[in-house]
Amino acid sequence: IRLNQIGFYPDQRKIAVILNHEDIEDFLIWDTDKKDIAFEGKLEKQIKKTRSGHISRIADFSQFRKAGNYVLILDGVGKSYPFEIESHINQNLGMASIKAFYYQRASVELDKAYAGIWARSMGHPDDQVMIHPSAASETRKAEEMVSSPYGWYDAGDYNKYVVNSGITVGTLLSLFEDYPDYFQNLDLNIPESGNQIPDLLDEIRWNLDWMISMQDPGDGGVYHKLSTAKFEGMVEPHLAISQRYMIAKSTTATLDFAAVMAQASRIYKSYYPEESVSYLKAAEKAWGWAKANPNVLYNQNEMNKAFDPDIQTGAYGDFSANDERIWAASELFITTHNLIYWDELADADQSFKLPSWNQVSWLGFYSLLRHQDKITLLPLEWMAVLKINLLTAARSQIEAVAEQPFQSPIETNVKNFIWGSNAVAANQGILLLYAYKQNGERAFLEGAYDNLDYILGRNATGYSYVTGFGTKSPQHPHHRLAVSRPDLPPLPGFIVGGPNPGQQDGCNYSSSFADESYTDESCSYASNEIAINWNAPFAYLVNSLEAVNK
């Protein structure tokens, strides 16, 4: 019995998917507090097949709306994992999805008061980062030491990558910009809590303070990453002490940086006015570098032919900086209203592309749509094209949901099952929420719920893919902070990458079908790693659903 292992809002569609039972007709919802039958229903007659050939049927109990704690029972088969119906069902999950970033903080000790049993020593002060020869410039010579502390660890590894930080911070800043009221008093119990500034903004600032130091003060170009030469072992952060390097500037990193700093500048204006000014200066300087260097793409293999030491960590290499340029120009235009940025957008490709670390044009377009009423300079017809592209893309994602065995948008195209597929589900949810905001069409909101249900257990493996949430959740994520502390449960609030038929890690998978290519083993970096760019859209999805339901 596959269903969302956390639960449902009273008025949302509520279904469970029953696998491998053609014969059964009736199901019931059992109230585990009152110890009584709460609802009786019939399974839908229609039979679907999963990718691996299992028969699937739907138990729909949407009509049942009463708050409480339940299990679904199938005669002769058994009962589901427990779930709840509640008007703030995703609140704790939403907070945990943001608190996860606190656990990823570099260059600081985590105190028991905030981290509980996951308290730990400081790791990676990053005050002696060596300029890799690929990053040498007039202002900074190879092998010189620079300081670049703070920031979040990227993922299961301890490195800090500007490209991936870019989409992460952009997504979280947009979450704040879309629902500012929701975050005014949301207390995440982080060291900055209680300082009159929304906790979400303080958590993001931890990473902005690092990103700012990734800019070469001389020419404004931004280093692609701060990393060791090879991945560290699976050890605690304070024991991972190999030399870290500033590595190569890139156009993608520099434009992502410009976008994030421009967006941060307007959002932090009333909270941290001095930083707001320096963020905008940094963004404009980065834009200038990218103008002069429009196509410096990071290619790790080529770089390793020219410079020592070889760098083998995450590449975040990309074939094109056009989408990064669109994103940066959009955010700079919104913040400054300067028409030089509009010039970059007038002829831009407006077709819809689901955001991912190497495809960010729609981070900019979402922002333009968010600000459309405040920017009178925007041509109406051009904006109309954006709107129609948004709605068309959202509609195409929910078009075939009814035919899917687990009834979610991610299943409608097998190509969605890539490395980090769970973030595809989350990013589809974001698109659907923007579409819902545009025209209030309920089907878009339901589509976003469907992908959250998928993430939380209504899927082919039966896992709730978020650590610490749901009955069957990942116990062995590829996460150095977790693997190095086998005495503790995994740190909570992290979404794992999810099914990925590429299976690039060579671990043992029990299935090769796309939606079943997941293994809860710490060796599995291709299906069971955690990453900030996956947690950010997940946090967006969960928290915005809470905000919309407030």
Residues 522-533 as b/e (b if ≥16 CB within 10 A, e otherwise) read bebbbbbbbbbb
Q: Tell me if 515 contacts ligand G3I by CB under 6 A.
A: no
Asked if residues 216 and 222 have their Cβ atoms less than 8 Å apart, the reply is: yes
Q: What are phi and psi of 83, to 5 degrees?
A: -145, 170
Taking CB under 6 A as the criterion, the residue among 19, 71, 418, 507 binding ligand G3I is 418
Query: Total residues contacting ligand G3I (rule CB under 6 A)?
Result: 15
Which H or E run includes 428? helix 421-439
Q: Binds 260, which of ligand G3I, ligand 9MR, none (CB < 5 to 8 A, cut-off by type)?
A: none
Residue of 537, 543, 508 lying closest to 524 (CA atoms): 508
Burial class (CB in 10 A: 0-12, 13-18, 19+), 229: middle
529 belongs to the catalytic site: yes
Looking at beta carbons only, is 159 or 254 nearer to ligand 9MR? 159
Q: Residue 419 binds what, of ligand G3I, ligand 9MR, none (CB under 5 to 8 Å, by partner type)?
A: ligand G3I
Q: Whole-angstrom Cα distance, residue 450 to residue 444? A: 10
Q: Does 536 bind ligand G3I (CB under 6 A)?
A: no
Query: Would you give the binding string for ligand G3I spanning residues 306-345, x where CB under 6 A is met?
Result: --------xx------------------------------
Q: What are phi and psi of 377, to 5 degrees?
A: -75, -15
Q: How far is the CB of 137 from ligand 9MR (least distance, A)?
A: 28
CB-based contact 249:224 (threshold 8 Å): yes
Q: Is 515 a catalytic residue?
A: no
The residues of the shown chain that bind ligand 9MR, judged by CB under 6 A, are 155-157, 231, 314, 525, 529
Rounded to a whole number of angstroms, the minimum distance from the CB of residue 120 to ligand 9MR is: 18
Q: Taking CB under 6 A as the criterion, which residues in 351-380 touch ligand G3I?
A: 358
- Is 531 a binding residue for ligand G3I by CB under 6 A? The answer is yes
Binding partner at 418 among ligand G3I, ligand 9MR, none, C-beta below 5 to 8 Å by kind = ligand G3I
- The residue at minimum Cβ distance from ligand 9MR is 157
Catalytic status, residue 157 = yes
Q: Shortest distance, CB of residue 142 to ligand G3I, whole angstroms?
A: 24
Tokens 């058994």 -> residue = 78
Catalytic residue list contains 505: no
| Residue 76 or 506 having the CB closest to ligand 9MR | 506
> Is it true that the peptide bond before 125 is cis, omega within 30 degrees of 0?
no
Q: Which residues contact 270 (CB under 8 A, 6 or more apart)?
A: none
CB-based contacts of 358: which residues, under 8 Å, 6+ apart? Answer: 163, 252, 316, 318, 319, 323
Mark 121-137 as b/e (b = at least 16 C-beta within 10 Å): eebbbbeebbbbbbbbe
100 binds ligand G3I (CB under 6 A): no
Q: 124, 126, 132, 157: which one is catalytic? A: 157
Integer-rounded Cα radius of gyration of the chain: 23
> How is residue 503 written in tokens?
């299976």
Residue 231 binding target from ligand G3I, ligand 9MR, none, CB below 5 to 8 Å by type: ligand 9MR
Cβ distance 243 to 130 under 8 Å? yes
User: What is the C-alpha end-to-end distance of the chain, expressed in Å?
Assistant: 30
Q: Which of 95, 100, 115, 155 binds ligand G3I (CB under 6 A)?
A: 155
Q: Could you tell me the two tokens for 304?
A: 């390793």
CB of 167 to ligand 9MR, least distance (A): 16
Which of ligand G3I, ligand 9MR, none does 420 bind, CB closer than 5 to 8 A by kind? Answer: ligand G3I
Which region, judged by CB under 6 A, interacts with ligand G3I, from 134-142, 153-161, 364-372, 510-518? 153-161
The residues of the shown chain that bind ligand G3I, judged by CB under 6 A, are 154-157, 314-315, 358, 418-420, 502, 504, 525, 529, 531
Catalytic site residues? 157, 478, 520, 529
